[in-house]
Amino acid sequence: MSASSSVPLSQKFKLPNGVEYEQPLGLFINGEFVTGKEGKAFEVINPSTGKLAGMVHEATAVDVDLAVDAAETAFYDGPWSKMSSADRGHLLLKLADLFEENLTILASIEAFDNGKAIQLAKGDIGACIGCLRYYGGWADKIHGKVIETSPESFNYTKQEPIGVCGQIIPWNFPLLMWAWKIGPAIACGNTVVLKTAEQTPLGGLYAAKLCKEAGFPPGVINILSGFGRTAGAAIASHMKIHKVAFTGSTPVGRQIMKAAAESNLKKVTLELGGKSPNIVFEDADIDRAVEWINFGIYYNAGQCCCAGSRIYVQETIYDKVIDAFKRRAQANVVGNPFDEATFQGAQVSEAQYNRIMAYVELGKKEGATVEVGGERHGSEGYFIKPTVFSNVTEDMRIMQEEIFGPVCAIAKFKNLEDVIQKGNSTAYGLASAVHTRSLNTAVEVANRLRAGTVWVNCYNSLHWALPFGGYGESGIGRELGKEALRNYTQVKTVNINLS
């Protein structure tokens, strides 16, 4: 952190792939980019090089207050409060169009700021567009119910927006998480104060510029760059924020929920960590299953809350799968995110890099076998080779804890009962997958796994129309799909006495 006096409100950026654009650097409050009241700024590091990429203004509690005031005014008094549901939806549709027009810039920012491969970053933006357009469509399709009880009374419910929503998003999919949060909150008529992750503030600020261009009234969408312990904590405990949605780690999720409980009992949605099982039965198409387990763990450099980090292979095909998977993992192109052929880019930060490498060392100490990887890739930036641990037992920490990197643990299982028991053995319950050709196995495993998502013969196959969220310590509430509208509405019952 340093003084912001030398940091402008925007600056021309030139990215490694030649994309040049004007990067906003201020806090986006009440429709304008402004400096933080405490005059702070923080560094943005390029994870591919470990070098300084730029500085952005930092929000602290006082800026959260300003943003909340703007959002509250917009919610109760501004044009937003009187806008028809269809017009609200239309603004989201315009925002989706602007994301489409700016796809190259947005994807490049993501690759630069997060270190993810440009091909994946483009996929992220495509999914942002789909998500925003999808919720644009929901805005005028939110219906209450009429409930008949007796002829003497007339009763109906309304799905009303909650008010000012605080949203705190992570660094692994900076813009996609932005769209997942903004889309349903705005479709339902709320106003938002969104804090991006301190590792990846750039995309959210550019998207804020697009919000303004789309025509959202001031104060409806406020975007803050800042740290969890200051700005994030201020959001979670704010007395005028009536809903907080957080995506991130389980420990921080717990703090958010505590802060919500201790402040004003704001409603909470949490999308937390996972240690998701990816199960391969002996009757699976092995080539395809190996493709999916590879994609399931190494996609986004393993930095996915739903990553398939525990791989259970039926013992009859275990050796064959290990062989094929080792070859497949080593074939992944790791390196420069801006190379179109790259599949796995950098880990997001030095801290994450060190954390992952510590888990690799731990795995070795615990007695697991490194089949491939287990070391740094290249000499600069935060790249890690795709890593496979075999001979992992259920009690090892690398089997129980979320590593959040390109590191997976493989173990054998005997039969369906065995793997259900193993699959359900962690405190998490975000996602899971089963690979089998058998209809009965697929449906039975899907029924019995305690997880918010079950993929059958695929992995990481997210779609904005499909609800996503966790069982157990993986969270509360569901994002995406129609389900997400529940996170951002509250029910009002009107009971009219007619007699």
Q: Active-site residues: which are they?
A: 271
What is the total count of residues that contact other proteins (CB under 8 A)? 30
Helix axes 85-101, 103-114, angle to 10 degrees: 70
Q: Does 488 bind other proteins (CB under 8 A)?
A: no
Q: Which stretch binds other proteins (CB under 8 A): 53-61, 81-89, 195-203, 255-263?
A: 81-89
Contact with other proteins (CB under 8 A) among 40, 57, 116, 133 = 133
Are 446 and 434 spatial neighbours (Cβ–Cβ below 8 Å)? yes
What SS3 class is residue 430? coil
Q: Does 417 bind other proteins (CB under 8 A)?
A: no
Are 321 and 100 spatial neighbours (Cβ–Cβ below 8 Å)? no
Sign of torsion over alpha carbons 359, 229, 469, 292: negative
Whole-angstrom distance, CA of residue 9 vs CA of residue 27: 8
Provide the pairing of β-strand 221-225 with 243-247.
Answer: unpaired
Q: Does 418 bind other proteins (CB under 8 A)?
A: no
Q: Does 150 bind other proteins (CB under 8 A)?
A: no
Q: In the complex with other proteins, which residue's Cβ is closer, 129 or 368?
A: 129
Contact with other proteins (CB under 8 A) among 86, 261, 358, 491 = 86
What SS3 class is residue 121? helix
CA torsion angle 140 141 142 145 (round to 10): 130
Angle at 273 between CA 336 and CA 165, to 5 degrees: 100
Residue 59 is encoded by which pair of tokens?
């929000």
Q: Does 189 bind other proteins (CB under 8 A)?
A: no
Closest C-alpha among 221, 218, 242 to residue 78? 218
Strand order from edge to edge, sheet including 2-3? 2-3, 40-46, 51-57
Contact with other proteins (CB under 8 A) among 65, 100, 315, 401 = 100
Shortest Å distance, C-beta 96 to other proteins: 9
Closest C-alpha among 24, 103, 308 to residue 111? 103
Q: In the complex with other proteins, which residue's Cβ is closer, 364 or 482?
A: 482
Q: Does 85 bind other proteins (CB under 8 A)?
A: yes
Q: Does 141 bind other proteins (CB under 8 A)?
A: yes
Whole-angstrom distance, CA of residue 112 vs CA of residue 45: 9
Binding mask 34-73 for other proteins (x = CB under 8 A): ----------------------------------------
3-state SS record for 36-51: CCCCEEEEEEECCCCE
Q: Does 498 bind other proteins (CB under 8 A)?
A: yes
- Within 449-478, the residues that bind other proteins by CB under 8 A are 465
Q: In the complex with other proteins, which residue's Cβ is closer, 139 or 301?
A: 139
Q: In the complex with other proteins, which residue's Cβ is closer, 69 or 100?
A: 100
Q: Based on the number of CB atoms within 10 Å of its own CB, is 77 exposed (0-12), middle (13-18) or buried (19 or more)?
A: exposed
Binding mask 151-170 for other proteins (x = CB under 8 A): ---x----------------
Residue 9 is encoded by which pair of tokens?
């409100």
Shortest Å distance, C-beta 448 to other proteins: 10
Q: Does 145 bind other proteins (CB under 8 A)?
A: no
Q: Does 137 bind other proteins (CB under 8 A)?
A: yes
Shortest Å distance, C-beta 60 to other proteins: 39
DSSP 35: -
Contact with other proteins (CB under 8 A) among 62, 93, 370, 458 = 93
Shortest Å distance, C-beta 195 to other proteins: 29
* CA atoms within 13 A of residue 24's CA, in its CB half-sphere: 24
Contact with other proteins (CB under 8 A) among 97, 282, 283, 339 = 97
Shortest Å distance, C-beta 440 to other proteins: 5
Q: Does 130 bind other proteins (CB under 8 A)?
A: yes
* CA atoms within 13 A of residue 232's CA, in its CB half-sphere: 20
Are 116 and 110 spatial neighbours (Cβ–Cβ below 8 Å)? yes
Shortest Å distance, C-beta 379 to other proteins: 38
Q: Which stretch binds other proteins (CB under 8 A): 60-68, 107-115, 132-140, 359-367?
A: 132-140
Contacting residues toward other proteins, per CB under 8 A: 85-86, 89-90, 93, 97, 100-101, 103, 130, 133-134, 136-141, 143, 154, 439-440, 443-444, 447, 465, 482, 496, 498-499
